[in-house]
Structure 1
Amino acid sequence: MTTNAVSEDFDAFVHGRGRALLRFAYVLSGDAHLAEDLVQEVLARMHRRWHKVSVMDSAEAYVRTAIVRQYLSWRRRRASTEAIYAEVPEPPGLDEPQARVLARDQMWTLMAGLPRAQRAVLVLRFYCDLPDDEIATLLGCGMSTVRSQAARALAKMRTMLSEGGVDGDG
Structure 2
Amino acid sequence: MTLKQILILIAFALCLIAETPIASAQFGGLFGGPNIETIETDELHKMLESQSQAELKAKESSAEIPQASFVVVDVRSDAEQRVSVIPGAITKAQYEKDTNLYADRLVIPYCTIGGRSGAYAKLLAGKGVKVKNYKGSILKWVDAGHPLVTLDGKPTNRVHTYSDRYRIPATYEQVTE
Coarse TM-score class (shorter-chain normalised): under 0.3
Q: TM-score under structure 2 normalisation?
A: 0.24
Q: Which has the higher helix share?
A: 1
Structure with the larger strand share: 2
